[in-house]
């Protein structure tokens, strides 16, 4: 079985958005809806750290093959995003360590 990466997505990589379709992210790749605490949304595509730890950004956690994550990172890096590791909380209360792309 191929190694998978967990990625928190909050913009165009969410289901039914352009990026998800382009990269072939399927509904079965979605682990669930999640929140990234300590961040706030600036626009549809940008989030930043917040001074208020209770602030959060809603998104989804996807599980994708390592090779697909590398393709997405190459795309994200072109637009100035960096790969970071964060902890998110799924709607069912579970916490997961995931990758997120931040400017």
Q: What angle do CA 38, 41, 47 make, to 5 degrees?
A: 75
Is residue 1 over pLDDT 70?
A: no
Stronger pLDDT, 16 or 70, i.e. the higher one: 70
**Which pLDDT score, from 0 to 100, does residue 95 have?**
98
Read off the pTM: 0.93
Q: pLDDT tens across 13-64, in order?
A: 999 888 999 999 999 999 999 999 999 999 888 999 999 999 999 999 999 9
- Tell me what the mean pLDDT of segment 67-80 comes to: 95
Cα–Cα distance list, 39 to 10, 42, 47, 62 (Å): 11, 10, 7, 19
Which domains does the chain carry?
Answer: 4-102 (3.10.490.10)
102 close to 10: Cβ distance less than 8 angstroms? no
Q: In sequence order, what are the residues at sequence separation of 6 or more whose Cβ sits closer than 8 angstroms to the Cβ of residue 35?
A: 56, 57, 58, 59, 88, 89, 91
**Which pLDDT score, from 0 to 100, does residue 22 have?**
93
């Amino acid at each position: 079985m191929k190694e998978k990466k967990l990625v928190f997505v909050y913009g165009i990589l969410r289901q039914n958005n352009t990026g998800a379709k382009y990269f072939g992210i399927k509904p079965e790749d979605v682990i669930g809806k999640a929140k990234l605490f300590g961040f706030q949304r600036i626009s549809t595509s940008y989030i930043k750290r917040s001074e208020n730890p209770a602030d959060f950004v809603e998104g989804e956690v996807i599980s994708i093959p390592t090779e697909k994550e590398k393709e997405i990172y190459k795309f994200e890096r072109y637009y100035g995003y960096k790969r970071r590791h964060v902890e998110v909380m799924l709607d069912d209360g579970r916490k997961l360590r995931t990758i997120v792309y931040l400017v």
